[in-house]
Amino acid sequence: MHYSPIGMALVSTSGEYLEVNPALCAIVGYSADELLATGFESITHPDDYAADVVATKRMLHREVETIRRVKRYRHKDGRIRWVQVNSSLILDDNGAPRYFVSQIQDITERKRADEDLQHANRALQTISNCNQVLVHATDEATLLREICQVMVRDGGYRVAWVGFAGAESDVKTVAIASDEKDGHARIAWAARGGEQMAAAIATGAPAVCKDLRAATGPWRDEAIRLGYRSCVALPLLADGRAFGALTLCSGEETSFDVSEATLLKELADDLAFGIVALRARVNQRQAEAALRTANERYERQEAALTKLTKSNVSAPDDFTDIVRGMTEVVANTLSVALVAVWRHDEGGTVTQCQDLFTWPEGTHSDGLSLSQDACPAYFKALAGVEVLAVTNARSDPRTSELSESLLLPYGITSVMCVPIRSRGATAGVLSCKHVGQSRRWMPDEQAFALAVANLLSTLLAQSERQRLEQQLRQA
């Protein structure tokens, strides 16, 4: 027994050591004298002792002759040692129990290798399931939510969440999943326990905490209470830069070894690629939709200009009819609530609304007026541009003077005004006024309004010539 390469011990029926060999002392780190002064309970992991008691009773009751089991010993330095124990009961000549003979083999390294293999296999299976999610994902939010669910359900992690880099060093949680036990508390903890995630995003490298009990921070105690033992944050990279991280917490102390971390890094890279691909797909769809919308606008504008040009080749005697027709066409083409044509007086200091068309109600009105004295910035802005396109009309200094008299009463938020020129001077204005959320006037819309204003300038000059010719004939 003394020279046996494996641990051996004689144990009394009440659990005290009667004799131990050097191999057992080496396994647990205690001297022979220290072991002989106590029993096997003192070095047995608390979670395994109850099973030892059951096994001992079964042998004492002669239910079995030998017991073989895997258990944990606590080494003198605090480490956990996995052992395989084979125990048999020795009887005296009268058949009464004398003591147990136990053979103890240290299987710690084999156990760790088995656990590493299990972790790697679990990670491979999880990656496979995540890849299925990636293949079938149609939108980013669903992808992130389902990836987190797979990590918890199939990967065996206690909580999984994804965060994206925000302003400065902030991290915004965009998806999270937790196991059912104490789930709400876990999710609340993850929302604030993002130190590892922030580190992974900042460095672009995995941030691993193998023992949360040794960590610091206000979230550490809550993590221990929830049963977390280890944590890893894996950066999500695009073009060599981390835009987010996938973070996993485990209840096992041996999680995130080199092989498992390598596989998880592969998963994070796949997830990052999937996110980028989905965003590119969304951007492409948005670009295609924007192109279709633009083409539709171009077609409407071209048709409208063709209609206006053909119908106004020769100006009618009543220029008001021209104006009413044009405001209707512009409003319907641009889908703008208020379109008006304003005519300046001879001095160019007062402008009078000749026609105001309200869309989609389809009503015409007139009579409004604006003076240069009341709106000097507005008149000055019109004199120096071809198109005055303003998104926030109430705050823009070029148009804010119109707030009390025009913008607020009609609920106008955005305006586009195009001067109507005649003989080098501003003779009037074609105005488009949008009601509702602020509107950015597209370049093609500005070009269309300018073309209509130029047509109005031409027709205005033609109408003026006809008026002068009629006066000459009458003279």
Threshold 0.85, pTM exceeds: no
- Single-letter amino acid, residue 31: S
204-222: buried (b, 16+ CB within 10 Å) or exposed (e) per residue? eebbbbbebeebeeebbeb
CA 24 to chain centre: 55
Residue matched to tokens 């088995």: 114
d(CA 144, CA 200) in angstroms, rounded, equals 18
The answer, yes or no, to whether the previous bond of 360 is cis (omega within 30 of 0) is yes
- Single-letter amino acid, residue 230: S
Most confident range (mean pLDDT) of 60-64, 288-292, 330-334, 423-427 is 330-334
pLDDT at 384: 85
Residue 166's pLDDT band (boundaries 50, 70, 90)? Answer: confident
Give the pLDDT confidence of 182-235 residue by residue, as tens digits: 666 666 666 555 677 888 888 998 888 888 777 776 667 777 777 888 888 899
The whole-number average pLDDT for the span 156-172 is 83
Residues 6+ apart with CB under 8 A from 416: 336, 387, 388, 389, 390, 431, 432, 433, 441, 445, 446, 449
Q: Report whether pLDDT(385) > 60.
A: yes
Q: Report whether pLDDT(337) > 90.
A: yes
How distant, in Å, are the alpha carbons of 252, 278, 330, 345 from that of 451?
Answer: 72, 40, 11, 23
pLDDT at 245: 92
Where is average pLDDT lowest: 75-84, 224-233, 310-319? 310-319
Q: Which stretch of DSSP H or E encloses residue 316?
A: none
Q: Report whether pLDDT(304) > 80.
A: yes
Residue 456's pLDDT band (boundaries 50, 70, 90)? Answer: confident
C-alpha dihedral sign at 128, 129, 134, 135: positive
pLDDT at 254: 55
How many CA atoms are closer than 13 Å to the CA of 106, on its beta-carbon side? 17
d(CA 137, CA 131) in angstroms, rounded, equals 10
